[in-house]
């Protein structure tokens, strides 16, 4: 693909840490201004633990009182860390808010749908935090991508609850292997085939996918339209996922 013929625009940034261990899960970086001093804090998901690094100390500290078999996601939102984890029985998935200084953890509403994949997506300049749940579907014991459905919830920070939403406005949520991002559809090239109020997964096992929309009539009577389904309008082919994400929309 000739990159000079395409439009490149920033969707944010991400941090990586040099760690070849199979126990490495994820990492998030938080830039803060504390008492007039600029510093940064790193939260690392490693094996069954979370570790914190504060620039003023430059040493790793274990987040005490917390152990989980699997850390799925770490993001930053409004000067705090948010993580999704599975409990030891693997029957529930929880979201925790972690204060970067005290390491105090606040558990948000539990999410019982362990059969789904969950992704945290910060939007704008700390405007909102969304959670996308993707429910898998199988036909004759074979995974059926066309029947995948999604549910989207927005964090209500005052009540610590996830509130289901059906309208993202003109936002497009991109779910990726290396961190999730969002943008306004107005930032996308005209006629690119991806419109607002949609979700695009670039981490599908198959490189061919479709944008997810809410309330799509799939033509199958047994399907629930009160969720996010394959739109079936324009097929999206994922061309690459690293070091940049590129895709082609077939009209």
Least confident stretch, 5-14, 45-54, 156-165: 5-14
At 23, the pLDDT band (50, 70, 90 cuts) reads confident
Average pLDDT for 180-194: 82
pLDDT of residue 103: 86
Q: Contact at 8 Å (CB) between 155 and 165?
A: no
Average pLDDT for 13-28: 70
Q: Whose CA is closest to 112, among 89, 137, 82, 145?
A: 89
Q: Whose CA is closest to 134, among 155, 123, 154, 120?
A: 120
Residue 98 reports pLDDT greater than 80: yes
> What value does the mean pLDDT of the chain take?
80
Residue 53 reports pLDDT greater than 50: yes
Q: Tell me the range of 87-96, 149-158, 208-217, 221-230 where mean pLDDT is highest.
A: 149-158
Instruction: Give the residue, 213 or 3, on which the prediction is more confident.
Output: 213
pLDDT of residue 154: 94
Per-domain residue ranges for the chain? Answer: 19-114, 116-251
CA angle 174, 177, 95 (to 5 degrees): 80
pLDDT of residue 129: 95
pLDDT of residue 130: 95
pLDDT of residue 145: 72
Q: Contact at 8 Å (CB) between 41 and 100?
A: yes
Q: Rounded to an integer, what distance in angstroms lies between the CA atom of residue 234 and that of residue 213?
A: 12
pLDDT of residue 118: 86
Q: Rounded to an integer, what distance in angstroms lies between the CA atom of residue 246 and that of residue 251?
A: 16
Q: Whose CA is closest to 164, among 233, 117, 111?
A: 111
Is it true that domain 19-114 has CATH number 2.40.10?
yes
Long-range contacts of 20-24 (CB under 8 A, 24+ apart): 21/46, 23/47
pLDDT of residue 25: 74
Residue 209 reports pLDDT greater than 80: no
Q: Tell me the range of 33-47, 163-177, 194-208 where mean pLDDT is highest.
A: 163-177
Q: Contact at 8 Å (CB) between 108 and 120?
A: no
Q: What is the pLDDT of residues 138-183, one digit of tens each?
A: 777 777 777 888 999 999 988 888 999 999 999 999 887 667 889 8
The dihedral sign for the CA sequence 139, 145, 146, 149: positive
pLDDT of residue 205: 59
At 203, the pLDDT band (50, 70, 90 cuts) reads confident
Query: If DSSP states are collapsed to H, E and C, what string results for the chain?
Result: CCHHHCCCCCCCCCCCCCCCCCCEEEEEEEEEEECCEEEEEEEEEECCEEEEEECCCCCEEECCCCCCCEEEEEEEECCEEEEEEECCCCCCEEEEEECCCCCCEEECCCECCCCEEEEEEEECCCCEEEEEEEECCEECCEECHHHCEEEEEEEECCCCEEEEECCCCCEEEEECCCCCEEEEHHHCCCCCCCCCCEEEECCCCCCEEEEEEECCCCCCCCCCCCCEEEEEEEEEEEEECCCCCEEEEEC
Average pLDDT for 26-46: 84
At 37, the pLDDT band (50, 70, 90 cuts) reads confident
pLDDT of residue 77: 93
Residue 207 reports pLDDT greater than 70: no
At 1, the pLDDT band (50, 70, 90 cuts) reads very low
């Amino acid at each position: 693909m000739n990159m000079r013929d395409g439009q490149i625009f920033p969707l944010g940034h991400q941090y990586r840490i040099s760690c070849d261990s199979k126990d490495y899960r994820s990492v998030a970086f938080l830039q803060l201004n504390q008492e007039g001093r600029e510093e940064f804090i790193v939260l690392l998901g490693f094996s069954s633990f979370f570790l914190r690094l504060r620039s003023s100390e430059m040493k790793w500290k274990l987040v005490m009182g917390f152990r989980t078999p699997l850390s799925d996601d770490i993001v930053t939102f409004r000067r705090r860390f948010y993580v999704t984890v599975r409990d030891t029985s693997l029957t529930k998935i929880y979201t925790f808010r972690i204060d970067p200084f005290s390491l105090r953890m606040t558990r948000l509403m539990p999410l019982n749908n362990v059969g789904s994949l969950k992704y945290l997506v910060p939007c704008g300049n700390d405007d909102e935090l969304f959670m996308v749940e993707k429910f898998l579907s199988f036909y004759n014991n074979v995974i059926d991508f066309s029947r995948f459905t999604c549910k989207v919830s927005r964090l209500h920070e005052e009540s610590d609850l996830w509130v289901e939403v059906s309208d993202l406005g003109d936002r497009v949520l991109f779910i990726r292997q290396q961190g999730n991002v969002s943008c306004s559809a107005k930032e996308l090239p005209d006629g690119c085939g991806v419109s607002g109020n949609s979700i695009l997964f670039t981490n599908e096992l198959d490189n061919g996918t479709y944008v997810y929309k809410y309330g799509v009539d799939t033509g199958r009577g047994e399907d629930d339209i009160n969720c996010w389904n394959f739109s079936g309008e324009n097929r999206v082919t994922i061309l690459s996922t690293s070091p940049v994400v590129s895709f082609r929309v077939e009209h």
